[in-house]
């Protein structure tokens, strides 16, 4: 039975569709080193899903340091320049395992798909990956005022698709993103280590676990 637009899927980008999360980490690690802080993986976990500006505020908190407005703006620019350098070679081979199959299956089943990402670089990455056409709606860092864990990015996706929150299924790899999906009243599916998340509805190590059978159950397709 096809979906007939009852349910929809909202995908986070970094760390769900493509492993750009590692490039955000490398770029922030370099910035943190300029003020003498060694950014740890544990600290980085808290940056996932968080906007560029809010990430720098968090890093300054970890480092217990302050920057004046000019130095703050310079760090943001430098971080993005470094990040853009890292992602220049991203292409369809970088799609995380299971993502192409899931996007193809959901589209064939008539499930509308939205992107809900904090990144201002989302469109260029989707284009490089060759998957833009799967997304009926793209909500990214250019369209929202509030960072995850605020639900704004997912609420906008649900409104743009015209599907009520209780019928939205969000795929996320970040603590903040799962909190945002739950705050929006949506089904929250975490990808990664269960210890990183507060009560997701489901948690899978990666998208290879989301077989057609599993997706059929989650989206009530049979």
Contact residues for ligand BG6 (CB under 6 A)? 13-14, 21, 24, 47-52, 55, 80, 117-121, 141, 174
Whole-number Cα distances in Å, 19 to 14, 67, 90, 105: 6, 30, 10, 21
Residue 16: CB minimum distance to ligand BG6, A: 9
Closest residue by Cα to residue 191 from 182, 179, 181, 200:
200
Scanning 5-13, 68-76, 194-202, 213-221 for contacts with Mg ion by CB under 5 A, the matching segment is 5-13
Q: Which of Mg ion, ligand BG6, none binds 141 (CB below 5-8 Å, type-dependent)?
A: ligand BG6
Residue 75: CB minimum distance to Mg ion, A: 21
CA distance linking residue 85 with residue 64, whole number of Å: 28
Catalytic position from the list 14, 19, 150, 193 = 14
Whole-number Cα distances in Å, 32 to 49, 56, 121: 18, 9, 21
Assess whether 12 carries a catalytic annotation: yes
Mapped onto helix, strand or coil, the DSSP state of residue 95 is strand
Assess whether 201 carries a catalytic annotation: no
Contacts of Mg ion in 154-193 (CB under 5 A): 173-174
Q: Which is nearer to ligand BG6, 45 or 219 (CB)?
A: 45
Catalytic position from the list 12, 54, 206, 213 = 12
Pairing of strands 202-204, 137-139: unpaired
Supply the residues annotated as catalytic: 12, 14
């Amino acid at each position: 039975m096809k979906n007939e637009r009852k349910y929809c899927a909202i995908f986070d980008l970094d760390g769900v569709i493509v492993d750009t999360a590692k490039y955000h980490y490398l770029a922030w690690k370099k910035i943190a080193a300029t003020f003498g802080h060694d950014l740890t993986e544990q600290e980085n976990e808290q940056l996932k899903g968080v906007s560029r500006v809010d990430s720098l505020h968090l890093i300054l908190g970890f480092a217990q340091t302050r920057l004046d407005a000019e130095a703050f703006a310079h760090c943001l620019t430098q971080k993005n320049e470094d990040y853009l350098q890292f992602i220049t070679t991203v292409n369809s081979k970088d799609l995380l395992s299971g993502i192409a199959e899931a996007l193809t299956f959901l589209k064939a089943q008539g499930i509308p798909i939205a992107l809900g990402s904090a990144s201002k670089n989302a469109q260029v990455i989707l284009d490089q990956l060759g998957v833009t056409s799967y997304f009926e709606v793209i909500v990214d860092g250019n369209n929202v005022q509030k960072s995850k864990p605020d639900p704004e990015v997912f609420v906008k996706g649900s409104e743009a698709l015209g599907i009520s929150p209780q019928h939205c299924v969000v795929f996320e790899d970040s603590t903040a993103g799962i909190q945002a999906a739950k705050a929006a009243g949506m089904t929250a599916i975490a990808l990664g280590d269960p210890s990183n998340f507060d009560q997701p509805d489901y948690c899978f190590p990666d998208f290879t676990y989301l077989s057609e059978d599993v997706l059929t159950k989650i989206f009530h397709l049979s």
